[in-house]
Amino acid sequence: MSLNASQTKNVQPKEKDFKLADEKGMFLLVKPTGRKYWRMQYRFAGKQKTLALGVYPEVSLKEAREKRDEARKLLSDHIDPSSHKLST
């Protein structure tokens, strides 16, 4: 199930890091300090990788999804997204 803007805004930190899954490999990493980070997990050349998409609220859910889609496009062209600067 996909995240929505109110879930993203209202999530409370816990004692340990935890993830809220969105879709297509993207998730929101919530730190005990309350900071929230957009991340995307993917595989490239047989290796599991994580791509940083931005920090919430500077990067909104919509913007994070756009960056995720851009990264997935690079993957479909056999390009590692971590080696390219994604647009902001």
Q: Each residue of 76-85: pLDDT tens digit? A: 999 999 988 7
The structural domain count of the chain equals 1
pLDDT digits (tens, 9 = 90+) for 16-63: 999 999 999 999 999 999 999 999 999 999 999 999 999 999 999 999
Q: Is 13 within the bounds of a domain?
A: yes
Q: Is 88 within the bounds of a domain?
A: no
Q: Write the secondary structure of 24-46 as one string of H (helix), E (strand) and C (coil).
A: CCEEEEECCCCCEEEEEEEEECC
- Residue 21: which CATH number? 3.30.160.390
Q: Is 60 within the bounds of a domain?
A: yes
> Is residue 88 pLDDT above 60, yes or no?
no
Q: Is 56 within the bounds of a domain?
A: yes
Residues 6+ apart with CB under 8 A from 3: 20, 21, 22, 28, 61
For residues 59-81, average pLDDT: 96
Q: What is the pLDDT of residue 1?
A: 72
55, β-bridge pairs: 37
> Do β-strands 36-44 and 47-56 pair in parallel, antiparallel, or remain unpaired?
antiparallel
